[in-house]
Chain A
Amino acid sequence: MAPRQKTNEARRILHSTAIAPTEPLILDAFTSDPAGRILHLVLSKREQGAHVIGLYCGYAPLELIRAIKGIPAFLCASSGKTIAAAEAVLPANLCPLIKSSFGYIRTKSCPFYELSEVVIGETTCDGKKKMFELIAPLKPTHVMDLPYQPVEEGTLARWTDRVRRLKAFLEETFAAEIAAERIEAEIRETNLKCRLMDRVFDYAALDPSALHWSELLDIIAVEPLMGGEEFHRFVSPLLQRLETRAAGGIGFARPGSPRVLVSGCPIGGEAKKVLRIVEEAGGVVVALEGCSGMKGYSIRIDEGTGDPLAAVAAATLKIPCACMTPNRRRFDALDEMIRRFRPHAVIDVILQACHTYNIESWQIERHVQERHGLPFLKIETDYSQSDVEPLRTRIEALLESC
């Protein structure tokens, strides 16, 4: 890390005036259609014989899914268009992610759900837990009962048992066995991909940041759909292009642009309005802490333990979701991100009715202000566009105070 740090420092001095990139980072048939890229990947893997397995969140171990020749398909949950259909059944005062997802399923408009042979859910919150009951009759749905006290005695054993039950479910559904060696091999694949993602993140840490948040989200969307080698082939030219940008001082910031770390609930689809407003207000998004962003990639799975299933369980339990209590790891991970990405402000994005992230936001605020002396803003939003101007007022005020 040391030489890279020095290079970054040099770049910062040489290129305080950034030139915006003109060439897209991902040059393929889907450059202007990133959603199409994901669908194409899922469809082509399916044609090669992969089982499409619908997912909600990172607690479902991808190593087991890949070990049974599955392709993980994260289900649509970030558009307001399907919410009206969901509210015919679900209460309006519920997380938009849950309503959106249920609405997609109800209106048969999520291609990934339609393609999925099975769905895996996790009890990350009460809303999802009860929504899974409503979709379970439609398709084989396996719900993993997630324990909430990550450092309590017995929690890991309980979660390992839940991961073992998932393995049994997959083996029974697809009439195949998942050998320990296959899980071990997939652990190595995951770790390789995490290391590659980490190299991508290095370019977001530069000043000016050479990686745009939308490019980051596009790469994150592709990563789970590829094996280690395949992802290496995908990401290598991107790293070269990022290096060219960095060497030429090309980046996404004007001189003096406040760097912003966005934390909190997953941000995708229509919630990306927050990231756009930050940019329109003159800021630059340099880090996405949420589980739809960088958070999960800092976790490595132990290799060669002799019990790969337990290793996978131990690693997934480390995901610092606000459903965990106490959630110390989130604060530690945030410290590390602030050190690495050097933001001037933190914006915590809460999706309406997400109680765990909403309550934890108070502690995050104290932590960010007192430990790091950074301006902080909590935003509570949903997938509608109705609050864009009130959000703009708040974000502009925050960036002025940087």
Chain B
Amino acid sequence: MKGIGLDIGSRTVKLVVCENGVIKMTRKEANTHDPLSLCRDMLCGIEADRIIATGYGRHLLGGYLPCETVSEIKAFARGSQAIHKPCSTVLDIGGQDTKAISLDDKGKIARFQMNDKCAAGTGRFLEVMATALGLSLEDFIEAAASAETAEPVNSMCAVFAESEVISMIARGSSRAGIALGIHQAVARRAVSLLEKVSVREDILFAGGVALNPCMRTQIEEQLGRLVIVPQDPQIVGALGCALMASEE
């Protein structure tokens, strides 16, 4: 049985095709103002028995083609188990959501926590902060990694944090130090979310922000434990959907 998993996120749309539990194809595209057209383009030419969608746009396809939906929690739990069987805790930092999921010994969702409903401390927050510092996202991450000391940032609201950053620049603080401070603040928030669901190893770090090596280091330092970042951390949710869709 062939199944398609779609994770229609706020920043990126991820597609995975699985056949009998094996990955056959993956696709990723930056989301646009017209996610439905984007999904249709991405699905073009792919035949499958079943489609399951997750992410903020999961209900979008329903009116257009037969498509089931699952929550991101279920999708990430399933995808994480498939990528790394001994995984007991999942941290996903995406475009506008952060989730911490604790799995029991059978891989079932034991508890989950999501960030406050605004995008504080998510991927989008990091992008806004990079812009506030006049840096590309890549340069922002590199600057943070190169900083010797961090300039502490307290605000987690994108609007307040931007004002805070602007006043730090005005005081002459180094951009690298501010960038590191921002990473630390986001990591602190992610760790407190993890602690709410109780942290057990192995810990899988997924979502677009897991591509950021400085964030990974900061989370590991604050958690006092190592995290596992999959080869492609962005597709974990779509993979979970594709696996569910490729099962009877």
| Smallest CB gap from B119: residue in A | A390
**Is B117's CB under 8 angstroms from A380's CB?**
yes
Contacts of B112 in A (CB 8 A): 397, 401
From residue B87, how far is it (CB to closest CB) to chain A in Å? 17
Contacts of A401 in B (CB 8 A): 73, 109, 112
B7 within 8 A of A: no
**Is B116's CB under 8 angstroms from A393's CB?**
no
From residue A372, how far is it (CB to closest CB) to chain B in Å? 14
CA distance A396 to B58 in the complex (A): 12
**Is B70's CB under 8 angstroms from A393's CB?**
no
Known pairs A381-B117, A389-B56 / 9 extra A-B pairs, C-beta < 8 Å: A369-B111, A393-B72, A393-B114, A394-B114, A397-B73, A400-B70, A400-B73, A401-B73, A401-B112
B97 within 8 A of A: yes
Report if A390-B73 is in contact (Cβ < 8 Å); known contacts: A397-B112, A401-B109: no
A387 within 8 A of B: yes
**Is B116's CB under 8 angstroms from A380's CB?**
yes
A391 within 8 A of B: yes
**Is A387's CB under 8 angstroms from B70's CB?**
no
From residue B79, how far is it (CB to closest CB) to chain A in Å? 14
Contacts of A389 in B (CB 8 A): 56
Chosen A-B contacts, 23 in total, with CB atoms closer than 8 Å, are A369-B111, A380-B116, A380-B117, A381-B117, A387-B117, A390-B97, A390-B114, A390-B117, A393-B56, A393-B71, A393-B72, A393-B114, A394-B114, A397-B71, A397-B73, A397-B112, A397-B114, A400-B70, A400-B71, A400-B73, A400-B74, A401-B73, A401-B112
Q: Could you tell me the dominant secondary structure of chain B's interface residues? A: mixed
Residues of B within 8 A of A (CB): 56, 69-74, 97, 109, 111-112, 114, 116-117
| Smallest CB gap from A401: residue in B | B109
Residues of A within 8 A of B (CB): 369, 380-381, 387, 389-391, 393-394, 396-397, 400-401
| Smallest CB gap from B109: residue in A | A401
| Smallest CB gap from B115: residue in A | A390
CA distance A167 to B94 in the complex (A): 58
Contacts of B71 in A (CB 8 A): 393, 396-397, 400
Partner of B72 from A369, A380, A381, A397 at Cβ < 8 Å: A397
From residue B161, how far is it (CB to closest CB) to chain A in Å? 17
Contacts of B114 in A (CB 8 A): 390, 393-394, 397
Q: Could you tell me the dominant secondary structure of chain A's interface residues? A: helix
**Is A391's CB under 8 angstroms from B74's CB?**
no
CA distance A393 to B97 in the complex (A): 10
CA distance A380 to B114 in the complex (A): 12
**Is A397's CB under 8 angstroms from B56's CB?**
no
CA distance A401 to B74 in the complex (A): 8
From residue B56, how far is it (CB to closest CB) to chain A in Å? 6
CA distance A389 to B71 in the complex (A): 12
Contacts of B111 in A (CB 8 A): 369
| Smallest CB gap from A387: residue in B | B117
CA distance A381 to B116 in the complex (A): 10
Q: Which 9 A-B pairs have the closest CB atoms?
A: A397-B71, A397-B73, A390-B117, A396-B71, A387-B117, A401-B109, A400-B74, A400-B71, A394-B114
From residue A294, how far is it (CB to closest CB) to chain B in Å? 27
From residue A363, how far is it (CB to closest CB) to chain B in Å? 14
Contacts of A369 in B (CB 8 A): 111
CA distance A397 to B97 in the complex (A): 14
From residue A370, how far is it (CB to closest CB) to chain B in Å? 12
Contacts of A393 in B (CB 8 A): 56, 71-72, 97, 114
CA distance A400 to B69 in the complex (A): 11
CA distance A369 to B197 in the complex (A): 12
| Smallest CB gap from B117: residue in A | A390
Contacts of B109 in A (CB 8 A): 400-401
From residue B210, how far is it (CB to closest CB) to chain A in Å? 20
| Smallest CB gap from A388: residue in B | B117
- Counting chain A CB atoms within 10 Å of each CB, the highest count among B69, B74, B117 belongs to B117
CA distance A357 to B71 in the complex (A): 27
| Smallest CB gap from B70: residue in A | A400
Contacts of B72 in A (CB 8 A): 393, 397
From residue A389, how far is it (CB to closest CB) to chain B in Å? 6
CA distance A169 to B112 in the complex (A): 51
| Smallest CB gap from B114: residue in A | A394
From residue B118, how far is it (CB to closest CB) to chain A in Å? 8
From residue A132, how far is it (CB to closest CB) to chain B in Å? 30
CA distance A396 to B70 in the complex (A): 8
Contacts of B70 in A (CB 8 A): 400
| Smallest CB gap from B69: residue in A | A396
Contacts of B74 in A (CB 8 A): 397, 400
CA distance A390 to B71 in the complex (A): 11
CA distance A393 to B59 in the complex (A): 11
From residue A43, how far is it (CB to closest CB) to chain B in Å? 40
Contacts of A394 in B (CB 8 A): 114
